[in-house]
Structures are given as structure tokens and as C-alpha cells.
Amino acid sequence: MAFLSIKPQPPNRLTEEDLVKKCKQGNGKAQQQLYTHYADRLYRLAYRYIRSDADAEDVLMTAFTKIFRGLNNFIYQGAGSTEGWMRRIVVNESLMWLRRRHNFNLTESLDASLPEPDLHAFSEQEAEDVYQLIAQLPTGYRTVFNLVVVEGYNHAEVAAMLDISESTSRSQLLKAKALLKKILTQEGYHYGT
Amino acid sequence: MEPDFEKNIRLKVYEAEQYPVRWGKEELWARMEINRSTRSRRTVYFSIAASLMIAILAGIYTHQRTTAIPDKTIANENPVHLQPTEEVQQPSTSKNIPLNIEQDIAPKVISQNNARIRIEEEPYISALPATTSDSANIPEASTEIEVATAIHENINDEVSPENDVKRPKVIIGIIPQQEQALLTQQEKKKRFRFLKGKSSDGEPDGSQLIIARIN
């Protein structure tokens, strides 16, 4: 995956609401416009979970098929609601893809009394570095880290989504944070606690 | 409450996702278009195939209905094969003419519509009191009753009282099993003579009854 150093494209002429309306009417051009506008972000979202170009594309294709099919049931609730809805579909598709290939229950539970690693230094990195460091994590850690820290789900929800126990979810997150701290230390960043 | 650094990480990730990225975006759209057109073409083929299948099945069903059940056709043409209408249930002149059917009428062979049907008498049918004039006109046992097709044309035709008394008509027909239930036992006794039927090859035919209506 190669990143370009250009700024995001300006928004399209149609407003988000109009675009959704036209897509619901089956307008092919509007659907293409919706795809063009959101595909990059959603691709990077899928890649953050899948970590494979070709597989992320496959997941995205399935997700967009579901998006166009499910648009009739989608109710527009203001700016950003469309992207939020599409992001949820892509996350769900990515999780389905991961569940078929990875057993999230293989990680043993950790002692919950262990101190949680401080990720202040990590959060001070450049956005692109943060993205790349998360992508380096193993599948189990990365998935739980993405769901809890980035998407904002709690451990009960993550446990239900991945069909694991809450303690497994917590231990995965702890390990993910510990690994991130280790990577940053190895790369020479000063780390507190 | 979530730590600040977690929020910071989230914002950084969202920011990173806004950056354009080089990947097979156009190719993916083309793949989706191909998939969609293939699916729609497949839907058209499936619809045509399903329509053809339904038409063929409907044709087969109609063909079987018209050719496979000749008995039903006869029954439908036969006016004795009737729903019990109000007119039938109304008291007619024949109600006043008592007959001793069991004793006096014992037809063994009935020829109907040029087809011979062997019938046997039902011993349990109760007989009504007979009069001398009635019994005189009733055919004797083991005779053949030729039933004209014309007789079958309308069971509801009222017979004039004179004819009714002098010459009771016997109408032969078939009542399907499901319609027998519509007649009460009393109506059966009063209006019809029920005889078990046999088909032309002599095999008992449990699904049919030969009835004779006395006018």
C-alpha cells in the first residue's frame, strides 16, 4: 500500500443527503460518486483490520455490495451518519473475514491486575505512524485494539462480536498495548511508567 | 472514562484514514459493475426459466385433469350428481307417495348411458310403506332398468302429481362420496335409494354410490 502526500479531495457537488437519495433511487452515477467519495477511507479502514491489499479489496467489494443493497433501509440522520453507517458495515465485513481465518480464543487470559501500559508517547506520533504501528500488531491484538481504542466498543461488545470472553478481550488489549510500547521503545522513543 | 491518549490515538487514526491511498480503486469498481450486470443477467435467465417451468407444469396438470378422471366427467354431466339445493329439499309431491322400495324394487343390473353397471341391493335401507299402485309400477327384481339420458337432465323438475302417482320415476346416478355427507339420513331415506355400485369390470367401487330417486 503506497500513501500519497496530497491533501484529501474536496467534497463532491452533491450534498451527502442528496447523494444518498439518488443512490436509493438506483441512480448509477450517484452510486459511483458515493463509491469514489468514500472508498479510500473505507479501504484504509478495512486494511487496518485485514492487513492485506487484495483481501481488503475483496472485503470492501462485499461491503459496498451490502451498502448499495441496504441503502433503502438506511435513514439519513445528519452529516456524517452515512459514513458512520458505512464504516460499521466495513468493520463487520472485516470481522467476518477475520473470524473465518483466525481463532481469537487461542490467546490465554492475563492477570487483570497487571499495570496497563501508558500509550502517551504512542499517541504523540504522526497520524500515519500511528496507523502503521497498529497495522504491525498480530491479528488478535490488532483486532481488539482497533475495536476498543479506535472504534470505541467496550469489552462486552467486543466479546460478543468476536465470540470470545470479556477477559480474553481485556488480555488481548493489554498485550497489544504492551507490544506497542515495546515497539516504540525499540525505536528510541522515551516512554514513561 | 477513556484516557486522553486513547482519544488521541483514535483521532490520529481517523486523520490517517483521510489521506488518499493508491490502490485498485477503479479496478474494484469495474469488478463490482461486472458482478452486478452478471447478477442481473442471471436474474433474467432465472425468471424466464421459472416462467417456462410453471407453464409446463400448468399444462401437464390441465391435461391430467381433463383426461385421467372419466368417472368425474360422467358424474358432472349427470344431473343426479347435484348439490342438494333448496329446491330438492323442499317438500314435493313425491313425499306423499310411500313406497316399499326394499321389497319391490330390486334391480340387479342397471344400464346407464349405454354402460352396464352391476349393483347390489342395500339391505339396511329402510323401506317406506308401499301402496298397491306404487308396487304395481315398480319393476320387479332382477330386471334391467334402462335409464334414458333425458331423465338425468334435471333432477329438480317437479313431476306432476298424476304421473307421480301412476308412474314413479327412477333416476340413476352417482353421488360422489364428499357430497353424500351433505344429505341428512332422513333425506336419504325419503328421496333416494342408495345402492353400492360396481364398475363395469365387476370390481367394487367404494367411492361411488348408485342412487335412485323416487319422484
Is the pLDDT at A139 greater than 70, yes or no? yes
The answer, for B26 touching chain A at a CB cutoff of 8 Å, is no
Q: CA-CA distance, A34 to A82, in Å (whole number)?
A: 10
Cβ contact A3–B12 (<8 Å): no
Confidence label for A186 from pLDDT (cuts 50, 70 and 90): confident
| A106: enclosing H helix or E strand | none
The C-alpha angle with vertex A90 and arms to B1 and A66, in degrees rounded to 5, equals: 135
Question: Could you give the CA distance from residue A182 to residue A10 in angstroms, rounded to a whole number?
Answer: 39
Quick: pLDDT tens for A23-44.
888 888 888 899 999 999 999 9
User: Cβ neighbours of residue A67 under 8 Å, at least 6 residues apart?
Assistant: A86, A89
Residue of higher predicted confidence among B142 and A48: A48
Of how many residues is chain A composed? 193
> Given a cut of 90, is residue A62 above it in pLDDT?
yes
pLDDT value of residue A17: 85
pLDDT attached to residue A5: 42
Distance of alpha carbon A33 from alpha carbon A39, whole angstroms:
10
Residue in chain B lying closest to A153 (CA): B2
What whole-number distance in Å separates Cα of residue B79 and Cα of residue B82? 6
The parts of chain B modelled with pLDDT lower than 50 are 72-75, 79, 81-82, 88, 90, 92-95, 103, 106-136, 138-159, 163-166, 168, 214-215
Let me know: does B37 contact B45? Beta carbons within 8 Å. no
ipTM score: 0.79
Q: What is the mean pLDDT of chain A?
A: 83
Question: Mind listing the pLDDT tens digit for each residue in A63-90?
Answer: 999 999 898 888 888 888 999 999 999 9
**Residue B111, pLDDT score:** 47
CB contact under 8 A, B13 and A48: yes
Q: Between these two residues, A108 and A104, which has the higher pLDDT value?
A: A104
> What residues of chain A have any CB closer than 8 angstroms to a CB in chain B?
1-4, 6, 8-9, 32, 35-36, 39-41, 43-45, 48, 53, 56-57, 60-61, 64-65, 118-120, 122-128, 130-131, 134, 149-150, 152
- DSSP H/E element including B209: strand B204-214
- Asked if residue A92 has pLDDT above 50, the reply is yes
- At residue A144, the pLDDT reads 94
Mutation to test the A interface, candidates B4, B15, B19, B33, most A Cβ within 10 Å:
B19
Which of B2, B5, B28 has its CB closest to that of A57? Answer: B28
pTM > 0.80: yes or no: no
> What's the confidence (pLDDT) of residue A80?
85
